[in-house]
Amino acid sequence: MKNPSEFTDKEINQLEIFCKSVGDEPAAANMTTDMTVPGSLWSVLFEEKRFDHPNGIFGLLYEDDKIIAMSGAYRADFCQDIVIGGVRTYTLKEYRKDFLHGSLLIPKQIEWAVKNEASAFALTFNHYNRWLWDFIRRINCGGGVVLGKKVPDSLKEFTAHPKPCVIKHTKQWICWKRLNEKFKYDWREIEDVSI
């Protein structure tokens, strides 16, 4: 995990190759390296600097010399006490069954949030990956899990907000956990009122 402004030329080149491997999946719209596209990975990493310290952090996960997964976390615009993690998350298809985010990247993001005195940690999901919201909600309600797989502890103790919210102009579903027992936030403040 590091600041994207500290990425080496080699890391940027590897990330560009990784982004091109996404193909035509729904996440591809966010993975473009075109700096002129608002909300593109390149614009949030290198222009907006959303994941640079002290606002955030970004992780690249490697196997040998190849990026196989990535994910970032940043302080929410609507409440600086909340860190939103799992942002711009993507894993190569052949590694998705391995819970890489839940076992490696999300724990580092939560660790960063605690170290930087955040009071809550949230994961958000767009329409195309809402099934992950359902998965985390079921885990935390004592529901189903993947047979033969241990659910990473980092995905436990989350509360699923029942209605979609708007974050960065995008309708999203939220699961969140307290990092400070005294923390309170009324998620209804950012609910999507258009539905």
How far from 119 is each of 22, 95, 113, 192, CA to CA, in Å?
34, 31, 8, 23
Q: What is the pLDDT of residue 6?
A: 92
Q: What is the pLDDT of residue 148?
A: 57
**Mean pLDDT, the chain, as a whole number?**
89
Region 7-16 average pLDDT = 94
* Superfamily of structural domain 4-190: Gcn5-related N-acetyltransferase (GNAT) (3.40.630.30)
81-139: pLDDT as tens digits: 999 999 998 889 899 888 888 889 999 999 999 999 999 999 999 988 888 888 888 88
134-151: pLDDT as tens digits: 888 888 877 656 555 677
> Across-strand partners of 176?
122, 159
Using CB atoms within 10 A of its CB, is residue 28 exposed (0-12), middle (13-18) or buried (19+)? middle
Tokens of 143: 């529901």
d(Cα 194, Cα 136) in Å, to the nearest integer? 25
> Across-strand partners of 178?
120
Residue 59, number of CB atoms within 10 A of its CB: 21
Domain boundaries, the chain: 4-190
Q: Which amino acid is at 96?
A: R
Identify the three-state secondary structure at position 68. Answer: strand
d(Cα 178, Cα 31) in Å, to the nearest integer? 30
Half-sphere exposure of 65 (CA within 13 A, CB side): 2
